[in-house]
Amino acid sequence: MDAGPGSALLTLRTFYHTLRISIPTVMEGLIGHTSLARCDARLTDWAQTLVKITRTTLTVAGQHHIPKEPCIVMSNHLSLCDVPLLYAALPDGVRLRMIAKAELFRVPIWGRAMRHAGFIPIVRTDRSQAVASLEEAARDIRKGTFVWLAPEGTRSKTGALGPLKKGGFILATSTGLPILPVVIRGTDDVLPPASLRTRFDQAVHIEFRPLIASTERSVEELMSDVRTALRPA
């Protein structure tokens, strides 16, 4: 493990590769020529590059649980690295976008690129805006996009699964879309939640677990089932 001076250079490299995909996405958006296919390719390249330069050992299990039809993807949330590592774990042909807190969309360049690429901001303190975000997510799923959200709403500081928020479960019950639970381990070793120092040579494990149907289920039942599914085996 390298948590010393080398990790500062590594962090700069990860920022560079994030800008490398963000700037052309922003430019295309400004001239009205954004392509979801190009965004998909950039996101995949970004994810695979970050795995390579951090020398992360990524193991993936349960890919056979990923459905052919789009669904709501829910995982525990340990690190800002959860997003690229999840992209790297997905098989080819899966289009994934995120529901993310609105603050991330205010990050220079990257935030605008997220919007042009089809990521969905959510303002949790404003119910009407939160509902509008969930409705936008439902439209995207019906068009063929898998949508990810972290039901905890924020990164865990301890690694333990925190309380789950209802928004994503309301989306599931209102649309009848199934939930794909994903257990993520080790991303907080690559980039701890309270740090911007990226680390080399960490092991990350991502496990896709069986789909959870949302039809004829209450929000409370779904929350209980997903909490159980997100617990480490």
Domain of residue 62, CATH code:
3.40.1130.10
Give the model's confidence band at 218: pLDDT under 50 very low, under 70 low, under 90 confident, else very high. Answer: very high
Q: What is the pLDDT of residues 42-100, one digit of tens each?
A: 999 999 999 999 999 999 999 999 999 989 999 999 998 999 999 999 998 899 998 88
Give the model's confidence band at 4: pLDDT under 50 very low, under 70 low, under 90 confident, else very high. Answer: very low
User: What's the confidence (pLDDT) of residue 233?
Assistant: 64
Q: What is the pLDDT of residues 154-177, one digit of tens each?
A: 899 888 999 999 989 998 998 899
Contacts of 151 (CB under 8 A, 6+ apart): 74, 164, 165, 168, 169, 223, 226
Among 38-52, 54-68, 119-133, 208-222, the range scoring the smallest mean pLDDT is: 119-133
Which residues, in sequence order, are bridge partners of residue 10?
A: none
User: What's the confidence (pLDDT) of residue 220?
Assistant: 96
User: What's the confidence (pLDDT) of residue 133?
Assistant: 81
Give the model's confidence band at 109: pLDDT under 50 very low, under 70 low, under 90 confident, else very high. Answer: confident
Nearest to 14 by CA among 197, 181, 231: 197
User: What's the confidence (pLDDT) of residue 224?
Assistant: 97
The H or E element containing residue 208 is: strand 203-208
Nearest to 77 by CA among 196, 164, 11: 164
Taking 90 as the threshold, does the pLDDT of residue 103 lie above it? Answer: no
Amino acid at 3: A
Range of the structural domain that residue 27 is part of: 5-229
- Arithmetic mean of pLDDT, 171-185: 94
Considering the entire predicted model, what is its pTM? 0.88
State the total domains in the chain. Answer: 1
Taking 70 as the threshold, does the pLDDT of residue 1 lie above it? Answer: no
User: What's the confidence (pLDDT) of residue 15?
Assistant: 82
